[in-house]
Amino acid sequence: MRIALLGWEGSGKTTVFNAVADAPVAPTPGVRQTETHVQVVRVRDARLERCREIFQPRKYTPAGLELWDPPGLPPGTAEADKERRHRRLAALREADAFVLVVRGFATDQYPYERAAPDPREDLLRLAEELITADFVIAQTRAEKLREQILRKARTQDQDRLELAVLDKCLERLEAGRDLADLALDEADEKRIRGFQFFARKPCLLLVNGPVGLPEGLASACALTLRGASAMDAQIDAELNAMDPADRPAFMAEFGIEAPAADRFVGEVYRGVGLISFFTVGEDEVRAWTIHAGDPAVVAAGRIHTDLAKGFVRAEVFPFDALDAAGSMRELKAQGGVRLEPKDYRVKDGDIVHIRSAL
Protein backbone atom coordinates (compact mmCIF):
# COMPACT_ATOMS: atom_id res chain seq x y z
CA MET A 1 0.00 0.00 0.00
CA ARG A 2 1.50 3.27 -1.09
CA ILE A 3 0.10 6.23 0.80
CA ALA A 4 1.06 9.73 -0.35
CA LEU A 5 0.87 12.87 1.73
CA LEU A 6 -0.46 15.58 -0.54
CA GLY A 7 -0.79 19.27 0.14
CA TRP A 8 0.28 22.81 -0.52
CA GLU A 9 3.87 23.80 0.15
CA GLY A 10 4.56 24.24 3.82
CA SER A 11 1.37 22.56 5.00
CA GLY A 12 3.51 20.42 7.28
CA LYS A 13 3.75 17.17 5.34
CA THR A 14 7.33 16.48 6.35
CA THR A 15 6.45 17.25 9.96
CA VAL A 16 3.62 14.70 9.75
CA PHE A 17 6.06 12.26 8.11
CA ASN A 18 8.47 12.80 10.99
CA ALA A 19 5.70 12.29 13.50
CA VAL A 20 4.91 8.82 12.14
CA ALA A 21 8.14 7.52 10.55
CA ASP A 22 10.74 5.45 12.37
CA ALA A 23 13.64 7.48 11.03
CA PRO A 24 12.79 11.16 10.77
CA VAL A 25 14.32 13.26 8.00
CA ALA A 26 16.22 16.35 8.98
CA PRO A 27 15.16 19.46 7.09
CA THR A 28 17.94 21.65 5.76
CA PRO A 29 17.28 25.18 6.97
CA GLY A 30 16.48 27.55 4.13
CA VAL A 31 16.36 24.78 1.53
CA ARG A 32 13.02 23.78 0.03
CA GLN A 33 12.32 20.10 -0.36
CA THR A 34 12.63 18.81 -3.93
CA GLU A 35 12.75 15.02 -3.52
CA THR A 36 10.14 12.65 -2.14
CA HIS A 37 10.92 11.00 1.18
CA VAL A 38 9.78 7.38 1.38
CA GLN A 39 9.55 5.20 4.44
CA VAL A 40 7.59 2.20 5.59
CA VAL A 41 5.40 2.89 8.60
CA ARG A 42 5.01 -0.27 10.60
CA VAL A 43 1.56 -1.45 11.53
CA ARG A 44 1.75 -2.32 15.19
CA ASP A 45 -0.54 -5.18 16.07
CA ALA A 46 -0.80 -6.85 19.46
CA ARG A 47 -2.18 -9.98 17.79
CA LEU A 48 0.98 -10.38 15.74
CA GLU A 49 3.07 -9.96 18.85
CA ARG A 50 1.11 -12.74 20.50
CA CYS A 51 1.87 -14.93 17.46
CA ARG A 52 5.54 -14.17 17.93
CA GLU A 53 5.24 -15.37 21.51
CA ILE A 54 3.61 -18.61 20.38
CA PHE A 55 5.92 -19.47 17.46
CA GLN A 56 9.22 -17.90 18.56
CA PRO A 57 10.05 -17.36 14.86
CA ARG A 58 13.47 -16.63 13.41
CA LYS A 59 12.00 -13.66 11.59
CA TYR A 60 9.26 -11.23 12.64
CA THR A 61 7.74 -8.92 10.03
CA PRO A 62 4.87 -6.56 10.84
CA ALA A 63 2.78 -5.15 8.00
CA GLY A 64 3.81 -1.77 6.68
CA LEU A 65 2.36 1.15 4.81
CA GLU A 66 4.73 2.76 2.36
CA LEU A 67 4.47 6.45 3.07
CA TRP A 68 5.50 9.12 0.57
CA ASP A 69 6.33 12.65 1.59
CA PRO A 70 6.70 14.60 -1.64
CA PRO A 71 7.48 18.29 -2.00
CA GLY A 72 4.33 20.37 -1.73
CA LEU A 73 2.34 22.08 -4.45
CA PRO A 74 3.31 25.70 -4.98
CA PRO A 75 0.08 27.70 -4.83
CA GLY A 76 1.06 30.58 -7.14
CA THR A 77 -0.57 31.49 -10.45
CA ALA A 78 2.70 32.05 -12.34
CA GLU A 79 3.49 29.64 -15.19
CA ALA A 80 6.48 28.21 -13.32
CA ASP A 81 4.27 27.36 -10.33
CA LYS A 82 1.62 25.78 -12.54
CA GLU A 83 4.23 23.67 -14.24
CA ARG A 84 5.72 22.51 -10.95
CA ARG A 85 2.27 21.65 -9.64
CA HIS A 86 1.62 19.65 -12.76
CA ARG A 87 4.88 17.75 -12.48
CA ARG A 88 4.55 17.11 -8.77
CA LEU A 89 1.01 15.83 -9.12
CA ALA A 90 1.96 13.56 -12.01
CA ALA A 91 4.62 11.96 -9.83
CA LEU A 92 2.01 11.04 -7.20
CA ARG A 93 -0.57 9.31 -9.35
CA GLU A 94 0.83 5.85 -8.71
CA ALA A 95 -0.01 6.04 -5.01
CA ASP A 96 -2.91 3.88 -3.83
CA ALA A 97 -4.40 6.46 -1.48
CA PHE A 98 -3.84 10.06 -0.45
CA VAL A 99 -3.76 11.87 2.84
CA LEU A 100 -4.51 15.52 2.12
CA VAL A 101 -2.47 17.52 4.60
CA VAL A 102 -3.90 20.96 5.25
CA ARG A 103 -2.24 23.66 7.33
CA GLY A 104 -3.81 24.34 10.70
CA PHE A 105 -1.08 26.48 12.24
CA ALA A 106 0.02 30.08 11.79
CA THR A 107 3.32 30.67 10.02
CA ASP A 108 5.20 33.38 8.18
CA GLN A 109 7.70 30.90 6.74
CA TYR A 110 6.04 30.72 3.37
CA PRO A 111 5.62 34.43 2.84
CA TYR A 112 3.49 34.34 -0.30
CA GLU A 113 0.70 32.77 1.73
CA ARG A 114 -1.37 34.32 4.48
CA ALA A 115 0.07 33.69 7.93
CA ALA A 116 -3.21 32.66 9.56
CA PRO A 117 -4.42 29.12 8.91
CA ASP A 118 -7.49 28.60 6.78
CA PRO A 119 -7.96 24.84 6.46
CA ARG A 120 -11.26 25.21 4.67
CA GLU A 121 -9.93 27.42 1.91
CA ASP A 122 -6.79 25.29 1.50
CA LEU A 123 -8.74 22.05 1.33
CA LEU A 124 -11.33 23.29 -1.15
CA ARG A 125 -8.62 24.65 -3.43
CA LEU A 126 -6.65 21.45 -3.18
CA ALA A 127 -9.67 19.35 -4.12
CA GLU A 128 -10.33 21.66 -7.05
CA GLU A 129 -6.71 21.34 -8.14
CA LEU A 130 -6.89 17.53 -8.15
CA ILE A 131 -10.19 17.42 -9.99
CA THR A 132 -8.93 19.89 -12.57
CA ALA A 133 -5.74 17.89 -13.08
CA ASP A 134 -7.85 14.78 -13.76
CA PHE A 135 -10.13 16.74 -16.05
CA VAL A 136 -7.20 17.87 -18.19
CA ILE A 137 -5.94 14.30 -18.56
CA ALA A 138 -9.35 12.92 -19.44
CA GLN A 139 -10.05 15.77 -21.83
CA THR A 140 -6.75 15.40 -23.67
CA ARG A 141 -7.25 11.67 -24.13
CA ALA A 142 -10.89 12.09 -25.16
CA GLU A 143 -9.94 14.59 -27.86
CA LYS A 144 -7.35 12.23 -29.23
CA LEU A 145 -9.85 9.38 -29.32
CA ARG A 146 -12.41 11.55 -31.10
CA GLU A 147 -9.86 12.34 -33.78
CA GLN A 148 -8.97 8.68 -34.18
CA ILE A 149 -12.59 7.75 -34.53
CA LEU A 150 -13.15 10.41 -37.19
CA ARG A 151 -10.10 9.33 -39.17
CA LYS A 152 -11.43 5.78 -39.32
CA ALA A 153 -7.86 4.61 -39.76
CA ARG A 154 -8.29 1.40 -37.83
CA THR A 155 -10.85 -0.56 -35.92
CA GLN A 156 -12.50 1.69 -33.44
CA ASP A 157 -14.55 -0.47 -31.14
CA GLN A 158 -12.11 -0.14 -28.25
CA ASP A 159 -11.67 3.58 -28.89
CA ARG A 160 -15.41 4.11 -28.74
CA LEU A 161 -15.75 2.18 -25.52
CA GLU A 162 -12.91 4.09 -23.93
CA LEU A 163 -14.35 7.39 -25.08
CA ALA A 164 -17.75 6.49 -23.66
CA VAL A 165 -16.36 5.90 -20.20
CA LEU A 166 -14.14 8.98 -20.39
CA ASP A 167 -17.18 11.07 -21.28
CA LYS A 168 -18.88 9.81 -18.14
CA CYS A 169 -15.85 10.88 -16.12
CA LEU A 170 -15.61 14.22 -17.88
CA GLU A 171 -19.20 15.08 -17.17
CA ARG A 172 -18.55 14.79 -13.46
CA LEU A 173 -15.11 16.33 -13.38
CA GLU A 174 -16.31 19.30 -15.37
CA ALA A 175 -19.01 19.86 -12.76
CA GLY A 176 -16.27 19.80 -10.11
CA ARG A 177 -17.27 16.43 -8.75
CA ASP A 178 -15.17 13.38 -8.01
CA LEU A 179 -15.47 9.86 -9.45
CA ALA A 180 -15.76 8.01 -6.16
CA ASP A 181 -19.27 6.67 -6.67
CA LEU A 182 -19.27 6.43 -10.45
CA ALA A 183 -20.56 2.93 -11.10
CA LEU A 184 -18.38 1.16 -13.68
CA ASP A 185 -18.23 -2.46 -14.70
CA GLU A 186 -14.92 -4.27 -14.57
CA ALA A 187 -14.11 -3.69 -18.23
CA ASP A 188 -14.70 0.06 -17.96
CA GLU A 189 -12.77 0.19 -14.73
CA LYS A 190 -9.85 -1.35 -16.59
CA ARG A 191 -10.19 1.17 -19.40
CA ILE A 192 -9.59 4.10 -17.07
CA ARG A 193 -7.18 2.46 -14.63
CA GLY A 194 -4.11 3.71 -16.47
CA PHE A 195 -5.11 7.35 -15.98
CA GLN A 196 -4.79 6.96 -12.20
CA PHE A 197 -7.40 9.61 -11.49
CA PHE A 198 -7.06 11.22 -8.07
CA ALA A 199 -10.82 11.64 -8.09
CA ARG A 200 -11.31 7.87 -8.05
CA LYS A 201 -8.82 6.99 -5.33
CA PRO A 202 -9.34 7.02 -1.59
CA CYS A 203 -8.53 10.40 -0.05
CA LEU A 204 -8.37 11.25 3.64
CA LEU A 205 -8.08 14.64 5.28
CA LEU A 206 -5.51 15.52 7.92
CA VAL A 207 -5.59 19.01 9.39
CA ASN A 208 -2.14 19.66 10.78
CA GLY A 209 -1.73 22.05 13.66
CA PRO A 210 -3.36 23.23 16.86
CA VAL A 211 -6.64 24.38 15.25
CA GLY A 212 -8.04 20.84 15.17
CA LEU A 213 -10.61 19.61 12.71
CA PRO A 214 -13.12 22.34 11.79
CA GLU A 215 -16.72 21.19 12.01
CA GLY A 216 -18.37 20.33 8.72
CA LEU A 217 -15.13 20.73 6.77
CA ALA A 218 -14.92 17.21 5.39
CA SER A 219 -18.40 17.31 3.88
CA ALA A 220 -17.78 20.70 2.23
CA CYS A 221 -15.08 19.24 0.02
CA ALA A 222 -15.71 18.18 -3.58
CA LEU A 223 -13.71 15.01 -3.03
CA THR A 224 -15.35 12.23 -1.06
CA LEU A 225 -13.17 12.00 2.04
CA ARG A 226 -12.84 8.56 3.55
CA GLY A 227 -11.70 9.92 6.85
CA ALA A 228 -10.89 13.22 8.51
CA SER A 229 -8.70 13.88 11.51
CA ALA A 230 -6.38 16.42 13.04
CA MET A 231 -2.84 16.17 14.34
CA ASP A 232 -0.52 18.69 15.92
CA ALA A 233 2.37 17.19 14.06
CA GLN A 234 5.09 19.33 15.54
CA ILE A 235 4.31 17.98 18.99
CA ASP A 236 3.97 14.44 17.71
CA ALA A 237 7.24 14.72 15.79
CA GLU A 238 8.91 15.84 18.99
CA LEU A 239 7.43 12.87 20.80
CA ASN A 240 8.57 10.51 18.05
CA ALA A 241 12.15 11.76 18.29
CA MET A 242 12.25 11.28 22.03
CA ASP A 243 13.91 8.58 24.06
CA PRO A 244 11.19 5.94 24.63
CA ALA A 245 11.64 6.25 28.38
CA ASP A 246 10.63 9.93 28.28
CA ARG A 247 7.56 9.42 26.16
CA PRO A 248 4.88 8.50 28.72
CA ALA A 249 5.37 11.74 30.70
CA PHE A 250 5.28 13.83 27.51
CA MET A 251 2.15 12.04 26.31
CA ALA A 252 0.44 12.65 29.62
CA GLU A 253 1.41 16.33 29.57
CA PHE A 254 -0.01 16.91 26.08
CA GLY A 255 -2.93 14.53 26.43
CA ILE A 256 -1.69 12.26 23.63
CA GLU A 257 -3.34 8.86 23.91
CA ALA A 258 -1.41 6.90 21.30
CA PRO A 259 1.69 7.48 19.19
CA ALA A 260 1.01 9.37 15.95
CA ALA A 261 2.06 6.36 13.86
CA ASP A 262 -0.64 4.18 15.41
CA ARG A 263 -3.32 6.87 14.98
CA PHE A 264 -2.24 7.46 11.40
CA VAL A 265 -2.22 3.77 10.51
CA GLY A 266 -5.63 3.37 12.15
CA GLU A 267 -7.09 6.24 10.12
CA VAL A 268 -5.67 4.88 6.87
CA TYR A 269 -6.82 1.32 7.59
CA ARG A 270 -10.35 2.49 8.40
CA GLY A 271 -10.57 5.03 5.60
CA VAL A 272 -9.15 2.91 2.82
CA GLY A 273 -10.86 -0.24 4.10
CA LEU A 274 -7.75 -2.28 4.82
CA ILE A 275 -7.33 -5.37 6.95
CA SER A 276 -4.37 -7.50 8.04
CA PHE A 277 -3.99 -11.21 7.77
CA PHE A 278 -1.11 -13.23 9.16
CA THR A 279 1.19 -16.04 8.12
CA VAL A 280 2.86 -17.94 10.94
CA GLY A 281 5.51 -20.57 11.51
CA GLU A 282 8.88 -21.10 13.09
CA ASP A 283 10.60 -19.45 10.14
CA GLU A 284 8.60 -16.28 10.10
CA VAL A 285 5.61 -14.60 11.66
CA ARG A 286 4.35 -11.94 9.35
CA ALA A 287 1.41 -9.61 8.73
CA TRP A 288 0.11 -8.59 5.31
CA THR A 289 -2.22 -5.81 4.23
CA ILE A 290 -5.16 -6.35 1.87
CA HIS A 291 -8.51 -4.71 1.21
CA ALA A 292 -11.49 -5.86 3.25
CA GLY A 293 -13.44 -8.25 1.07
CA ASP A 294 -10.45 -9.46 -0.94
CA PRO A 295 -10.66 -13.18 -1.76
CA ALA A 296 -8.11 -15.74 -0.61
CA VAL A 297 -6.48 -15.85 -4.03
CA VAL A 298 -5.66 -12.14 -3.80
CA ALA A 299 -4.23 -12.67 -0.33
CA ALA A 300 -2.11 -15.49 -1.77
CA GLY A 301 -0.87 -13.16 -4.50
CA ARG A 302 0.24 -10.63 -1.90
CA ILE A 303 2.59 -13.27 -0.51
CA HIS A 304 3.83 -14.52 -3.87
CA THR A 305 2.41 -14.52 -7.40
CA ASP A 306 3.12 -18.28 -7.66
CA LEU A 307 0.87 -18.93 -4.67
CA ALA A 308 -1.99 -17.23 -6.50
CA LYS A 309 -1.29 -19.04 -9.77
CA GLY A 310 -1.00 -22.46 -8.17
CA PHE A 311 -3.71 -21.86 -5.54
CA VAL A 312 -5.34 -25.08 -4.36
CA ARG A 313 -6.82 -24.29 -0.96
CA ALA A 314 -6.21 -21.94 1.94
CA GLU A 315 -5.89 -23.31 5.44
CA VAL A 316 -7.54 -20.66 7.59
CA PHE A 317 -8.30 -19.98 11.25
CA PRO A 318 -8.95 -16.79 13.16
CA PHE A 319 -6.22 -15.39 15.38
CA ASP A 320 -8.59 -15.55 18.35
CA ALA A 321 -8.88 -19.33 18.00
CA LEU A 322 -5.11 -19.73 18.12
CA ASP A 323 -4.86 -17.30 21.00
CA ALA A 324 -7.43 -19.30 22.97
CA ALA A 325 -5.88 -22.67 22.09
CA GLY A 326 -2.39 -21.42 22.92
CA SER A 327 -0.59 -23.62 20.36
CA MET A 328 -0.98 -25.02 16.86
CA ARG A 329 -1.02 -28.55 18.21
CA GLU A 330 -3.97 -27.77 20.49
CA LEU A 331 -5.80 -25.83 17.78
CA LYS A 332 -5.44 -28.73 15.34
CA ALA A 333 -6.57 -31.21 17.99
CA GLN A 334 -9.72 -29.11 18.33
CA GLY A 335 -10.24 -29.27 14.58
CA GLY A 336 -9.91 -25.49 14.41
CA VAL A 337 -8.27 -25.25 10.96
CA ARG A 338 -10.62 -24.85 7.99
CA LEU A 339 -9.96 -25.35 4.30
CA GLU A 340 -11.23 -22.50 2.13
CA PRO A 341 -11.44 -22.04 -1.66
CA LYS A 342 -10.11 -19.21 -3.85
CA ASP A 343 -13.10 -16.96 -3.37
CA TYR A 344 -13.17 -17.13 0.42
CA ARG A 345 -13.21 -13.57 1.77
CA VAL A 346 -10.27 -13.23 4.09
CA LYS A 347 -11.14 -11.60 7.42
CA ASP A 348 -9.14 -9.23 9.56
CA GLY A 349 -6.96 -11.31 11.86
CA ASP A 350 -7.22 -14.51 9.84
CA ILE A 351 -4.15 -16.71 9.93
CA VAL A 352 -3.64 -18.19 6.50
CA HIS A 353 -1.52 -20.91 4.97
CA ILE A 354 -1.82 -21.28 1.20
CA ARG A 355 -1.64 -24.72 -0.36
CA SER A 356 -0.31 -24.28 -3.84
CA ALA A 357 0.39 -26.64 -6.71
CA LEU A 358 3.41 -24.61 -7.81
Ligand X SMILES: Nc1nc2c(ncn2[C@@H]2O[C@H](COP(=O)(O)OP(=O)(O)OP(=O)(O)O)[C@@H](O)[C@H]2O)c(=O)[nH]1
Q: Does 12 interact with ligand X (rule: CB under 6 A)?
A: yes
Q: Rounded to the nearest whole angstrom, what is the least distance from the CB of residue 260 to ligand X in the complex?
A: 11
Q: Rounded to the nearest whole angstrom, what is the least distance from the CB of residue 78 to ligand X in the complex?
A: 17
Of positions 14, 276, 279, 289, contacts ligand X by CB under 6 A:
14
Of positions 11, 240, 276, 289, contacts ligand X by CB under 6 A:
11
Q: Rounded to the nearest whole angstrom, what is the least distance from the CB of residue 126 to ligand X in the complex?
A: 12
Q: Rounded to the nearest whole angstrom, what is the least distance from the CB of residue 237 to ligand X in the complex?
A: 8
Q: Per-residue DSSP letters for 253-299? A: HHT--S-HHHHHHHHHHHHHTEEEEEE-SSSEEEEEEEETT-BHHHH
Eight-state DSSP code of residue 113: S
Q: Does 233 interact with ligand X (rule: CB under 6 A)?
A: yes
* Cβ proximity to ligand X, 35 vs 343, nearer residue: 35
Q: Which of 160, 157, 200, 194 is nearest to 178 (CA)?
A: 200
| Residue 11 interaction partner, one of Mg ion, ligand X, none, beta carbon < 5-8 Å per kind | ligand X
List the interface residues with ligand X, window 21-60 (CB under 6 A). Answer: 27, 32-33
Q: Which of 79, 86, 78, 75 is nearest to 113 (CA)?
A: 75
Q: Does 61 interact with ligand X (rule: CB under 6 A)?
A: no
Distance CA 322, CA 326 (A): 6
Q: Does 240 interact with ligand X (rule: CB under 6 A)?
A: no
| Position with the least CB separation from ligand X | 72
Q: Rounded to the nearest whole angstrom, what is the least distance from the CB of residue 129 to Mg ion in the complex?
A: 17
Of positions 5, 6, 14, 51, contacts Mg ion by CB under 5 A:
14
Contact mark string toward Mg ion, 29..48, x via CB under 5 A: ----x---------------
* DSSP three-state, residue 243: coil
Residue type at 4? A
* DSSP three-state, residue 201: coil
| Residue 209 interaction partner, one of Mg ion, ligand X, none, beta carbon < 5-8 Å per kind | ligand X
Which phi and psi (to 5°) does residue 188 adopt? -65, -40
Q: Does 234 interact with ligand X (rule: CB under 6 A)?
A: yes
| Residue 264 interaction partner, one of Mg ion, ligand X, none, beta carbon < 5-8 Å per kind | none
Distance CA 307, CA 317 (A): 18
Q: Which residues contact 330 (CB under 8 A, 6 or more apart)?
A: none
Q: What does the longest C-alpha to C-alpha distance in the chain come to?
A: 72
| Residue 202 interaction partner, one of Mg ion, ligand X, none, beta carbon < 5-8 Å per kind | none
| Position with the least CB separation from Mg ion | 14
Distance CA 111, CA 94 (A): 31
Q: Rounded to the nearest whole angstrom, what is the least distance from the CB of residue 5 to Mg ion in the complex?
A: 8
The answer to whether 348 touches 299, Cβ cutoff 8 Å, is no
Q: Rounded to the nearest whole angstrom, what is the least distance from the CB of residue 25 to ligand X in the complex?
A: 10
* Burial readout 325-357 (b: 16 or more C-beta within 10 A, e: otherwise): beebeebeeeebeeebeeebebeebbbbebebe
List the interface residues with Mg ion, window 180-219 (CB under 5 A). Answer: none
* DSSP three-state, residue 356: strand
* Cβ proximity to Mg ion, 101 vs 274, nearer residue: 101
Q: Rounded to the nearest whole angstrom, what is the least distance from the CB of residue 226 to ligand X in the complex?
A: 21
Q: Which residues contact 83 (CB under 8 A, 6 or more apart)?
A: none
Contact mark string toward ligand X, 99..118, x via CB under 6 A: ------x-x-x---------
Catalog residues that contact ligand X under the rule CB under 6 A: 7, 9-15, 27, 32-33, 71-72, 105, 107, 109, 208-209, 232-234
